[in-house]
A = this chain, B = another copy of it.
Amino acid sequence: MDDIEPISIQQAAVVGCGVIGAAWASRMLLNGVNVAVSDPSPNAEQILQEVLANAVAAYDELGLPTDRQGRYRIASSIADAVEDAQFIQESVPERPDIKAAVLAEIEAAAPVDSIIGSSTSGIKPTVMQATMTHPERLVVGHPYNPVYLLPVVEVVGGEHTPIENIRHAQAIYAGIGMRPIHVRVEIDAFVGDRLLEAVWREALWLVNDGVATTQEIDDIMTHGFGLRWAQMGLFETYRVAGGAGGFRHFIEQFGPTLEWPWTKLMDTPDFTPELVDTLVAQSDAQSGMHSVRALERTRDQNVVGFLKVLEANDWGAGRTIAQHRSR
């Protein structure tokens, strides 16, 4: 990954401008890229403006420049948005039929040498390529929200994506300040969402079985291992736990506990009305006193603060920001 040479593009398109698409557009705009936005909703421009305002505030606080923004325009159609785009990021709803229809519209109008990144969190690129006439242009570029702050993007090619197009996509993502991780084996849900899915299932069981509330589970994360994973991942943390004996010692010490029958992950809980009501009531009790906008501001303030700490310590996501800043 470190040998990816970032490239700057001038013109991009964002197709689908909900929370994720708007955050993509904001990251691009703040990195000087002009963005044409296509979304059938009359609210798309408002969402974009709100998310962009959050992003500008975050970049100001991070000390990243906000005075060299690209221009956005709301396009009249997908074709209008993509016709002069060097890069297109698709963030439409997570339904294969919608993805296929939108990709067909993109393909029909986009330059032949453009790259199309899909924000899908779970659909394999080869599946999406099956109905495309120029499948070689497609990669998955799966981000984490807030996209304008969190630098990682998982880049996955399908059977019809040549490696040079994967590298080209990585270079474009790096050019807007991201850390593109090439996931070399194509699997459903890629890497990050496989991990998130595992936690989600287990957490649902804990609520379903009355072991803990959403608040208690979140507190255990935010007051415990969440503070570890913002700066060292699972494996590096466990390496430290293994002490001077390294990772082999860690496995010798803790590996056998894997055999213990702890998990309930062999099946998934049903979303019965009772479980949904419990989740909703607990989430309301936990967070209902804050508006979503207020939570987004708090989240951004916290993450910006973390990124400044990490940049000062020359570590983790802070290094990605420092490298981008120096260019």
Contacts and interface: CB of A to CB of B under 8 A. Distances in A.
Interface of A: 1, 19, 94, 121-122, 144-145, 149-152, 154, 179, 181, 183-185, 187-189, 191-204, 206, 209-212, 214-237, 239-244, 246-248, 251, 255, 257-263, 265-266, 268, 271, 276, 279-280, 282-284, 286-288, 292, 295-296, 298-299, 301-303, 305-310, 312-313, 315-317, 320
Contacts of A247: 279-280, 283-284
A316 B287 contact: no
How many of these chains are in the complex?
Answer: 2
A180 to B, nearest CB: 10
A262 B197 contact: yes
A282 B246 CA distance: 11
Contacts of A280: 246-248, 251
28 contacts: A1-B216, A1-B219, A94-B257, A150-B223, A152-B224, A181-B212, A181-B216, A183-B212, A184-B212, A185-B209, A185-B211, A185-B212, A187-B209, A187-B211, A191-B206, A191-B211, A192-B220, A197-B263, A199-B234, A223-B317, A226-B226, A227-B230, A230-B230, A230-B302, A231-B302, A244-B292, A248-B280, A251-B279
What is the predominant secondary structure among interface residues of chain A facing chain B?
helix
B188 A195 contact: no
A297 to B, nearest CB: 10
Given A187-B209, A236-B286, A302-B313, 6 more contacts: A188-B260, A199-B199, A239-B292, A251-B276, A302-B316, A309-B309
A220 B150 CA distance: 10
A127 to B, nearest CB: 12
